């Protein structure tokens, strides 16, 4: 697949995004929760690492029932995280280091404590009533229909005061806004402008596929697919509550708002959170590229970790991309089990090499660069509402949200030793931390830095062409491809399995520039390339 010329490429096409979960990154004021000044104090680390943009999960005022995804004021900062002035400082300091700042934008729902909802629920005739989705009780159970919440149970909650139900795709404390109401749309666009005027570089749009629901409130059909877990959202197919055609109108509207900023309208970035099959995901680029710049591609998280399946995924995704659209890849986030826990530490290195050499913008999740794993959360320390609602099903998100591990000292240097962090620090912090790994030339952190350094030095890895190579039968566990830009070409060979493999390189000759174990540098490659189990290798090819 073709790359682009360096002069035409945009920062978010060349760059690498790093997701920060602000509660867990760095606590500057010793209250056990991370904050904006904490993040600012770590910008030099991020700059050293080589990332180009940070995306912050929500930092707005919120009762924190869904840890910030329940917002009471879209244009302010939660005091726990700091002030608007602290935000401006973070933005300025990040920009000085050529790091862009992307905010989480949560358009689908507010907190039930948001003044809009308070007014909406106050009476049937309040002007804000229709800003949310209300419905009369149905005969029988009273529930207007069978729609389910992503977080378990019905998506409808009865409001005694006005005798109607309101809809919430997530917690009852997260009522969904009614995006069919023009005033809601205008109010939500104004929020984009507020932050764009302040200088933010883009938004990650939360829960985008949920934005519109069926006008006729039809029941969702039963999910006849792979055994859904009892009582969960997956027991129904969300035909009438997600991915409706009308979502595309909204997305184009958001895009138009961004296009009024920056040079050529491409300066500011929209990323959409979209758990969708590839054919439906790519529609979010919009007709003629008028939609979301990067509909987040989570398929590396959801596809079984097998060379053939990953190769198929890459082929399918590349083939589905509309003209002029730009790919992207994600390996981890605050909602999913950590990469090193899913794949194991050594294979996580191979995954890092894949992520940072594929064509498309990569997003890294904080701590994955250290090989942080899902932490054990004792029952009394559970915070996540999903784990509380659906206990023991492996859906809880706390294990992947524990404090960033900076030092080998108590609390991993996230907060002082005298303070109890909001979630426990993972028990491996004495060996898995920034300080120890920075000093170790073969650590996971050193690998990430080497990959990022290479990606920045060689445009082939970011904006270059992607050329797939069919692995032969004998090399079933190998995933191989080339990246090329002008006269520079690289072969990437990734051993997804445990056993050693040999790749016949035929006419290709060159030398190794990087391996996942950070060894073999400079080794000549002629005719064949030997790979250890779980090893990834990048070869600079002779032209
Ligand atoms: C997706 C976010 O990533 C998740 O953390 C949140 O709970 C839901 N959307 C609801 O906003």
> Atom 5 of ligand 1 has which residue's CA nearest to it?
335
State in Å: Cα 253 to ligand 1 middle: 22
Please tell me what DSSP assigns to residue 30: S
Q: Is 207 in the pocket of ligand 1 (CB under 6 A)?
A: yes
Pocket test for ligand 1, best of 170, 171, 175 (most atoms within 8 A of CB): 170
Given a contact cutoff of 8 angstroms between Cβ atoms, the answer to whether 501 and 495 are in contact is yes
Q: Is 31 among the catalytic positions?
A: no
Q: Which atom of ligand 1 is nearest to the CA of 109?
A: 11
Confidence (pLDDT) at 178? 98
User: Could you tell me if the CB of 335 is within 6 A of ligand 1?
Assistant: yes
Around 190, how many Cα atoms within 13 Å sit in the side-chain half-sphere? Answer: 9
3-state secondary structure of 222: strand
Centre of ligand 1 to C-alpha 501, Å, is 41
Cβ of residue 298 lying under 6 Å from some atom of ligand 1: no
Residue whose CB lies within 8 A of the most ligand 1 atoms, among 23, 57, 66, for a mutation test:
66
Residue 108 CA: which ligand 1 atom is closest? 11
Distance from C-alpha of 327 to C-alpha of 462, rounded to nearest angstrom? 11
Helix (H) or strand (E) holding 477: none
Structure tokens at 466: 């992607």
pLDDT for 473 equals 47
Residue 487, pLDDT score:
95
What CA–CA distance (Å, rounded) separates 377 from 423? 8
Q: Is the pTM of this model over 0.75?
A: yes
How are strands ordered across the β-sheet holding 134-135?
A: 134-135, 164-167, 156-159
Residues linked to residue 524 through DSSP beta bridges, in sequence order: 511
Q: Check if 527 is active-site.
A: no
Q: 375, 411 in Cβ contact below 8 A?
A: no
Tell me which residue has its CA closest to atom 11 in ligand 1.
Answer: 69
Residue 104 in contact with ligand 1 by CB distance below 6 A = no
In this predicted structure, what is the pLDDT of residue 48?
98
Please pick, among 273, 369, 374, 387, the residue that the annotation labels catalytic: 273
Per annotation, catalytic residue among 86, 206, 257, 368: 206
SS3 state of residue 487: coil
Closest to 531 measured CA to CA, from 474, 490, 464: 474
Question: Shortest CA distance to 459 belongs to which of 100, 7, 1?
Answer: 7
User: Which phi and psi (to 5°) does residue 502 adopt?
Assistant: -120, 130
Copy the structure tokens of residue 35. 């904050």
Q: Which residues contact 85 (CB under 8 A, 6 or more apart)?
A: none
Output the pLDDT for position 448. 99
pLDDT truncated to tens, each residue of the chain (543 aa)? 777 777 689 999 999 999 999 999 999 999 999 999 999 999 999 999 999 999 999 999 999 999 999 999 999 999 999 999 999 999 999 999 999 999 999 999 999 999 999 999 999 999 999 999 999 999 987 999 999 999 999 999 999 999 999 999 999 999 999 999 999 999 999 999 999 999 999 999 999 999 999 999 999 999 887 565 666 898 999 999 999 999 999 999 999 999 999 765 569 999 999 999 999 999 999 998 899 999 999 999 999 999 999 999 999 999 999 999 999 999 999 999 999 999 999 999 999 999 999 999 999 999 999 999 999 999 999 999 999 998 988 889 999 999 999 999 999 999 999 999 999 999 999 999 999 999 999 999 999 999 999 999 999 999 999 998 865 544 679 999 999 999 999 999 999 999 999 998 878 899 999 999 999 999 999 989 999 999 999 999 998
pLDDT of residue 506: 75
């Amino acid at each position: 697949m073709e790359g682009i010329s360096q002069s035409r490429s945009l920062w978010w096409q060349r760059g690498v995004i790093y997701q920060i979960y602000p509660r867990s990154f760095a606590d500057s004021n010793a209250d056990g929760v991370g904050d904006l000044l904490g993040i600012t104090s770590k910008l030099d680390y991020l700059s050293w690492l080589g990332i180009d943009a940070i995306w912050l999960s929500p930092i707005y005022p919120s009762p924190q029932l869904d840890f910030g995804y329940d917002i009471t004021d879209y244009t302010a900062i939660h005091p726990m995280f700091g002030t608007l002035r602290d935000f401006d400082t973070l933005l300025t300091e990040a920009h000085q280091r050529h790091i862009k700042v992307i905010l989480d934008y949560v358009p689908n729902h507010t907190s039930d404590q948001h003044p809009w909802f308070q007014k909406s629920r106050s009476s049937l005739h309040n002007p804000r009533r229709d800003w949310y989705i209300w419905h009369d009780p149905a005969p029988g159970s009273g529930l207007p229909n069978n729609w389910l919440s992503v977080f378990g149970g019905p998506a409808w909650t009865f409001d005694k005061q006005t005798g109607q139900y309101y809809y919430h795709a997530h917690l009852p404390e997260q009522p969904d806004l009614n995006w069919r109401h023009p005033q809601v749309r205008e109010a939500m666009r104004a929020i984009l402008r507020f932050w764009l005027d302040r200088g933010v570089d883009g938004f990650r749009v939360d829960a985008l596929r949920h934005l519109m629901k069926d006008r006729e409130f039809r029941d969702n059909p039963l999910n006849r697919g792979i055994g859904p877990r009892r009582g969960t959202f997956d027991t129904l197919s969300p035909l009438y509550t997600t991915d409706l055609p009308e979502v595309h109108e909204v997305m184009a509207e958001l895009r138009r708002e961004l296009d009024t900023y920056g040079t050529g309208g491409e300066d500011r970035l929209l990323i959409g959170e979209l758990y969708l099959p590839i054919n439906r995901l790519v529609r979010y680029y919009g007709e003629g590229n008028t939609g979301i710049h990067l509909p987040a591609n989570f398929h590396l998280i959801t596809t079984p970790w097998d060379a053939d399946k990953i190769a198929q995924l890459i082929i399918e995704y590349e083939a589905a991309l509309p003209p002029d659209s730009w790919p992207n890849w994600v390996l981890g986030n605050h909602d999913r089990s950590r990469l090193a826990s899913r794949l194991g530490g050594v294979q996580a290195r191979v995954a890092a090499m894949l992520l940072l050499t594929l064509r498309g913008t990569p997003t890294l999740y904080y701590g994955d660069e250290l090989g942080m794993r899902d932490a054990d959360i004792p029952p009394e320390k559970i915070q996540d509402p999903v784990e509380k609602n659906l206990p023991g099903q492996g859906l809880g998100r706390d294990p992947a949200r524990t404090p960033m591990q900076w030092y080998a000292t108590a609390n991993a240097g996230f907060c002082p030793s005298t303070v109890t962090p909001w979630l426990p620090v993972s028990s491996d912090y004495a060996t898995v931390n920034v300080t120890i790994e920075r000093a170790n030339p073969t650590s996971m952190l050193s690998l990430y830095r080497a990959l990022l350094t290479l990606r920045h030095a060689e445009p082939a890895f970011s904006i270059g062409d992607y050329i797939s190579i069919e692995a032969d039968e004998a090399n079933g566990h190998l995933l191989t491809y080339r990246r090329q830009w002008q006269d520079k070409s690289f072969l990437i060979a990734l051993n997804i399995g445990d056993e050693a493999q040999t790749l016949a390189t035929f006419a290709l000759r060159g030398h190794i520039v990087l391996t996942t174990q950070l060894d073999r540098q400079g080794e000549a490659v002629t005719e064949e390339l030997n790979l250890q189990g779980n090893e990834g290798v990048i070869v600079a090819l002779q032209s």
